[in-house]
Amino acid sequence: MSKLYYTEHGHVVPTLCEELTRWRRARKVLRLPATAAPGTLYLLARCYRDSPLPLRVSVNGKEIPPIPPGNPVAYFWYDVQVDPSLLKEGANTFEFWTDAPAMNAWSLAMESGHARPESAVSDDGGRTWRNEKMGYLSVLLGEYVARMRLTEGEDPAPPSVAWEDPSGPRLARLREIMPSAAVDAGPLMRRVRALSAWLSASWEHTSSGRAAQYAPWDAETILAWGKARSGHAGQLAVTMCVHYGAAFVSCCQAVGIPARCAVLMGTPNGYDGHFVAEVWFEDYGKWVMVDPNADAVLFREGIPLSIPEIQRAGGDLSGLIEWGPGADFQRTFPHMVEFVRNNLEKGVCFRHRSVWYRADFQSHPELTPPGHGSTSYCETGLVWERRDREKFGMFPCFGDAGYFDAPPRR
């Protein structure tokens, strides 16, 4: 058994994090039980391209071997083994810095919005500290994304999915703008495919590699910003696979279709993931995978497939995919053609799966992530398969087949 200890939820805005230098240090306090075994410290950090400098780390005042320069693409998980002799029961202090005089070597991910953070920043090499005016622009209150997994303790049971109130005014408004084929009574698959095709053809997939202003998980705002190619502060908005999936799930709930978000990963800590949806089909007694970005559903002998069935199908899915009309729009963009050919059709992104345990994005926007997909996956609201706990030890919740396959309950 083991347990993850953390003080944030991984709601990282990648453009508002902490830069580290020889002067500017970050400090994180984690309250831990006594331990007799080595622990694993997980850090979400970004190394600058071509920087030769390591990330230096100390635990309760004692420096440990530094982290060598690593993946410069985006914020990435680094793990460090910590000897139990360095840890103690109660408050444990972890410090992070580098030897660069300027902000051009390492940055540490942070989650803003904490009133009394147990993280702090120093501008004088660690002589004085403050837990306000944090982040590289010195304007934030937040917690640094550093977590510790110990053998002592046990991870909590995965939470149930939180659904929207079906009588809410936001869902009523969505019904007004959705295509009639999705709203009107009829076969469930026909309604699902109509909704997927509509969303897939509504805007261009725009990733964090092409834009910086992340669209919130609000279906109407996603549609507006995506179509206009302009969002907050007039900037091109990030409206990528996650936004198709989130909008699809909200729209499904608006017309009484149970749907949840599924987050996929090809390589742990990698950048070959995808964000899709699952729809509950009572006739089949299972959750069926729907990709509203590519407008795709997979079938075998006329039966739609679940994610576990797709995983078992192997590395060539091209013969199982049935494309909707939205796929024609997506194929006009070379980056989507490349993704379909090199990832989706080869089943890469389906190797590891998780469920985002909330589906109430309209009524609780404050609980949605502000940058999912812009960094290596880091949100604690993701529930991964129990068999993957060793690979995804930076997350706190894992479920078995009974959790993932259970029908929706309110």
pLDDT of residue 6: 98
Region class of 385: left (phi > 0), else alpha (psi between -120 and 50), else beta: beta
**Whether 132 and 179 share a structural domain:** no
**Whether 177 and 266 share a structural domain:** yes
- Mean pLDDT on 381-387: 97
* In-domain check, residue 163: no
* In-domain check, residue 410: no
Q: What residue type is assigned to position 240 of the chain?
A: M
- Mean pLDDT on 250-266: 97
Q: pLDDT for 294-341, tens place per residue?
A: 999 999 999 999 999 999 998 999 999 999 999 999 999 999 999 999
**Residue where one domain finishes, among candidates 82, 116, 150:** 150
Please tell me the number of Cα atoms within 13 Å of 304 on its side-chain side.
Answer: 24
pLDDT of residue 117: 96
CATH of residue 40: 2.60.120.260
**Whether 224 and 368 share a structural domain:** yes
pLDDT of residue 1: 83
Instruction: Indicate if the pLDDT at residue 290 is higher than 80.
Output: yes
pLDDT of residue 410: 64
Instruction: Indicate if the pLDDT at residue 190 is higher than 70.
Output: yes
Q: Give the integer Cα–Cα distance in Å for 115 and 130.
A: 13
pLDDT of residue 86: 98
**Whether 135 and 217 share a structural domain:** no
Q: What are φ and ψ of residue 146, in 5° steps?
A: -135, 130
Owning domain of residue 86: 3-150
Residue located via tokens 């139990």: 84
**Whether 33 and 130 share a structural domain:** yes
* In-domain check, residue 159: no
* In-domain check, residue 348: yes
- Mean pLDDT on 217-226: 97
Question: What pLDDT band is residue 71 in, cutting at 50, 70 and 90?
Answer: confident
Grouping H, G, I as helix, E, B as strand and the rest as coil, residue 182 is helix
**Whether 12 and 51 share a structural domain:** yes
Question: What pLDDT band is residue 238 in, cutting at 50, 70 and 90?
Answer: very high
**Whether 123 and 180 share a structural domain:** no
**Whether 38 and 85 share a structural domain:** yes
Total domains present in the chain: 2
